[in-house]
Structure 1
Amino acid sequence: MTEKLIKSLGEEVGVGLPDVRISGVEPGLPSVFRLATAAAVSVGAVTAAVARYKAPERTPREVSVDVRHAAAAFMSERHFRIDGEEIGLWAPLSGDYRTSDGWVRLHCNFDHHREAALRALRLPPDADRDAVSRACESRTSVEIEDAVIREDGCAAAMRSRKEWLAHPQAEAVARTPLVALSRLDSTGPSPDRAARTGSRPLDGVRVLDLTRVIAGPVAARILAAHGAEVLRVGAAHLPEVPGLVVETAFGKRSCHIDLRTEADTLRELVRQADVVIQAYRPGSLAERGFGPEELAGLRPGVVCVEISAYGSRGPWGRRRGFDSLVQMACGIAHEGGDGTRPSPLPCQALDHATGYLAAFGAVAGLLRRRDEGGSWRVELSLARTARWLDELGRIDRAESADGEPGLGVDDLLERMDSAFGPLTYVRPPGRIEGAEPYWASPPPRPGEHLAGWATATG
């Protein structure tokens, strides 16, 4: 099943993939959803695409994925330690709240999202969790969701699978491919048939990482593990989840650019990039002159990867969202809790699957560019990934009931010194014979580097 799913992903984007050997025992995870299968498929797809990129003219070396390792990678932030300490993932007000007719989830990890939620609930800026709970109890879940969205915040009412499938946004999501790869122009550069001369599969590939929370950073991180030069672009004034920034920054460099005053600096970086990954709300970067068409104009041959919560089309096409919210909206949390209360997946599986699939789409775009020329666009959404996970089917609830996330991963962990202290992390999953992935450098401090490429322009 897993091997066929990987092959079908290649067919979807028009790329022939080498065979992938799937090994290892599927771990018991506390979920009826096929999380380990989703992990093995998404990791296998990007690993196979990288192997194809490394060896375009000959049969690639053996490609393999260990199912348990892939599943552990989907929980990488939960296994990550800084000087032996876990990282914080949730702000005090983030979480699920009972409403008059069900449940709603508020995402308050960023200050401006917390402030938006409190405005929507007509609460003071210093309101605590008990006050938020009381304010939610007298209102319906959709009423709260709508009010928070109107204030530019992030929230999701808990919906059943049936309710979601009947929603207009679910219909819009269903009409899109899981990994939507399309050509941006018909006059791009000629096919690039130059042989890969570097020692690592993605040597010479430059990736601009314009993302912040899990899915996009995971995509850029796995590309770095295969040798790509990844420059993560943030801004000093934008909020972050500090621990997640460190955990997803292995193998990258980091700079700060304020688009309000330094847009030309980003344009110069784009002109020398091969891949640009962005996960801002649909349309946000386009409003600043960095939409996919503009990027292709700056750098003919670029591969633009766009990640969103609910897709760029439909009534929620510009809605902000995060993994935990999409799980609530799409029926996953409802099913996990038997409809009585939300019970999320044991990991941010939508983020991680979308991240590995985004990296797969990026390499697929590079392969199509090499074979056909042109600039390429890759579109993915957490909601479309949720639909794919749903389509994978279920496992017997009894088989998943005793599973424990993180069970038996010590042999998958490695350690590295960094400016933050000693780090313990899950090493990158997926294997290419003779070209195993690894991160060549520890996470940098945010904004540590100049806004430029480390390697000389060829």
Structure 2
Amino acid sequence: MLGELWRSLTGDELRPGAAVIEGGEAVLPGPFRVAAAASASIAAATLAAGELLRLNGIEPGTVSVDTRHAAAAFRSEQYVRVDGEAPPGVWGGLSGDYRAADGWVKLHCNYPKHNAAARRALGIPDSADAAAEAVAKRTAWDVQEAVVEAGGAAAAMRTRDEWLAHPQGQALADAPLVEFTPIAHSPARPLSTSDRPLGGVRVLELTHVIAGPVAGRALAAHGADVLQIGAAHLPRLRTLDIDTGLGKRSAFVDLRTGEGRARLWRLIAEADVLLQSYRPGALAALGFTPEKLAEARPGIVLVELDAYGWSGPWARRRGFDSLVQMASGIAAETAVDKPRPLPAQALDHATGWLAAAAAMTGLRRRAAEGGSYRALLALASTGRWLDSLGRKENTTEELDTTGLFDELDSPFGRLTHVRVPGTLPGANPFWAQGSPLPGEDTAEF
């Protein structure tokens, strides 16, 4: 599995003895091979970091990933604590699974604008009981389309076969897990002489929720200077800020203004990696096209994430991990009386680690060959990869997290968090600081 994943990411064969995955898969419930996917994606990112060390003449050693640790990392937002207490829950508003006239539909309403959109589409007050009553009178597809049309996020539950027959499922059939393309030619740019894989590398992160922030967090663990850019007027989820902000800085830039866009261009001119999860076309509509990014910063590595894929009728549709699970048949596979999601937001976390691996692969190509690169990833493509791994016994074990935590000080308080997974003997990953308050830093490298 890891060899195939490495080949699809890099085009290279995995070196004999380069990595070992330890432990069995029976650490998370359900039939999907979530722990195996977690171990493989984390191993791929750690191997990519090791290859950067090798370029600098440092022997990386054998990468090792413990399956239990990898599984815990894929549920990191469930375990993070501030001064010993769990932060607020992630789910809010009218979020949840609702029984429709012909099946099930999930509403994703964690953000106020999506909650308001669902209320508009259903013609209801802000009440889960009212939502349940309204949904029960309509088909799941009708509810999904009405909410999406109103500017919200929803997905009807489909079976795997229904998804494969759907135009968006078909659009993903031939899509690679990670699509790498060169943007422009530029001279090779050697790595810094740091003893950490990403020492001296500047990462500009324009992401939200889980997948993109996980990618930035992974890059920070290997030594990158990661600056997360948000905006004061946009809502945030406190728990995810705390969990995924480890090792980063955070600043606000309002891209609605000319001054904000000019500030972002100045940051891009100094960045090595731009990691973004705006909906496809949104950033380009503000003038930040791949070609202009490569002009502003020759040698930039652009890594972009979306929900449903980069082609097909749903390419621009709002989506989140839980919605992709509903739409693609994952939640239906073991559904009995209601949808059954994966035991982790695995599409988000796997996509995040694969995005980090893609960023480091792009940096390695830039150092060896020159050029600016673009990598595209999608939660639905990651779900397709997870599906391709087959199934394991449908166990019900609960994960033992003993010994998997570290602590760091932060402006939020003393954080207890899942330690960085993946061992790299040449330069083990770690987070140098706790998570920042959103917007507390200056928007500069």
TM-score, reference length from structure 2? 0.96
- The residue correspondences of 1:145-224 to structure 2 (distance < 5 A) are 145-185=144-184, 188-192=185-189, 194=190, 196-224=192-220
Distance, in Å, in 2 between the alignment partners of 1:378 and 1:3 is 19
Q: Does 1:348 align with 2:354?
A: no
Distance, in Å, in 1 between the alignment partners of 2:371 and 2:14 is 21
Distance, in Å, in 2 between the alignment partners of 1:199 and 1:440 is 15
Taking a change above 3 Å as real, the CA distance of residues 211 and 59 of structure 1, as seen in their structure-2 partners, is same
**Mind listing any 5+ residue stretches in structure 2 that lack a counterpart?**
none
| C-alpha deviation, 1:134, in angstroms | 0.2
**2:155–2:324 CA contact under 8 A, matched in 1:** yes
Q: Does 1:251 align with 2:247?
A: yes
**1:15–1:364 CA contact under 8 A, matched in 2:** no
Distance, in Å, in 1 between the alignment partners of 2:267 and 2:334 is 44
Q: In structure 2, what residue type is equivalent to 1:365? A: G
**1:15–1:367 CA contact under 8 A, matched in 2:** no
What is the aligned partner in structure 1 of residue 409 from structure 2?
A: 417
What is the aligned partner in structure 1 of residue 71 from structure 2?
A: 71
Q: Does 1:357 align with 2:344?
A: no
| C-alpha deviation, 1:26, in angstroms | 2.9
What is the aligned partner in structure 1 of residue 290 from structure 2?
A: 292
Match of 2:370 among 370, 373, 379: 373
**2:27–2:68 CA contact under 8 A, matched in 1:** no
Distance, in Å, in 2 between the alignment partners of 1:331 and 1:24 is 28
Q: In structure 1, what residue type is equivalent to 2:246? A: F
Deviates more, 1:26-35 or 1:57-66: 57-66
| C-alpha deviation, 1:120, in angstroms | 0.5
Distance, in Å, in 1 between the alignment partners of 2:362 and 2:147 is 37
**2:93–2:115 CA contact under 8 A, matched in 1:** no
| C-alpha deviation, 1:149, in angstroms | 0.7
- The residue correspondences of 1:53-202 to structure 2 (distance < 5 A) are 53-56=52-55, 57=57, 59-87=59-87, 88-124=89-125, 127-185=126-184, 188-192=185-189, 194=190, 196-202=192-198
| C-alpha deviation, 1:6, in angstroms | 3.9
**Mind listing any 5+ residue stretches in structure 1 that lack a counterpart?**
454-458
Match of 1:403 among 388, 391, 397: 397
**2:3–2:14 CA contact under 8 A, matched in 1:** no
Q: In structure 2, what residue type is equivalent to 1:403? A: E
Distance, in Å, in 2 between the alignment partners of 1:395 and 1:17 is 25
Q: In structure 2, what residue type is equivalent to 1:279? A: S
| C-alpha deviation, 1:59, in angstroms | 4.9
- The residue correspondences of 1:260-339 to structure 2 (distance < 5 A) are 260-261=256-257, 262-338=260-336
Distance, in Å, in 2 between the alignment partners of 1:391 and 1:421 is 41
For residues 162-197 of structure 1, what are the alpha-carbon distances to aligned partners after superposition, in whole Å with 9 as ceiling and x for unaligned? 100000001111221001111112xx22223x3541
**2:222–2:429 CA contact under 8 A, matched in 1:** yes
Runs of 4+ in 1 over 6 A off after TM superposition: none
User: How many residues of Structure 1 are paired with residues of Structure 2 in the alignment?
Assistant: 439
Q: In structure 2, what residue type is equivalent to 1:434? A: G
Give the secondary structure class of the aligned counterpart of 1:174: coil
Give the secondary structure class of the aligned counterpart of 2:177: coil
Distance, in Å, in 2 between the alignment partners of 1:264 and 1:215 is 27
| C-alpha deviation, 1:30, in angstroms | 1.4
Distance, in Å, in 1 between the alignment partners of 2:135 and 2:355 is 36
| C-alpha deviation, 1:5, in angstroms | 3.3
| C-alpha deviation, 1:434, in angstroms | 3.5
Deviates more, 1:57-66 or 1:99-108: 57-66
Give the secondary structure class of the aligned counterpart of 2:32: coil
Taking a change above 3 Å as real, the CA distance of residues 336 and 82 of structure 1, as seen in their structure-2 partners, is farther
Distance, in Å, in 2 between the alignment partners of 1:122 and 1:361 is 43
Distance, in Å, in 2 between the alignment partners of 1:93 and 1:250 is 29
Paired-residue identity, %: 53
Distance, in Å, in 2 between the alignment partners of 1:114 and 1:220 is 28
Q: In structure 2, what residue type is equivalent to 1:170? A: G
What is the aligned partner in structure 2 of residue 431 from structure 1?
A: 423
Q: In structure 1, what residue type is equivalent to 2:235? A: P
**1:303–1:366 CA contact under 8 A, matched in 2:** yes
Distance, in Å, in 2 between the alignment partners of 1:28 and 1:411 is 15
Q: In structure 1, what residue type is equivalent to 2:261? A: A
- The residue correspondences of 1:17-36 to structure 2 (distance < 5 A) are 17-18=14-15, 19-36=18-35
User: Over aligned residue pairs, what C-alpha RMSD do you find?
Assistant: 1.4
| C-alpha deviation, 1:239, in angstroms | 1.2
**2:180–2:376 CA contact under 8 A, matched in 1:** yes
Give the secondary structure class of the aligned counterpart of 2:391: coil
Distance, in Å, in 2 between the alignment partners of 1:259 and 1:391 is 39
**2:279–2:318 CA contact under 8 A, matched in 1:** yes
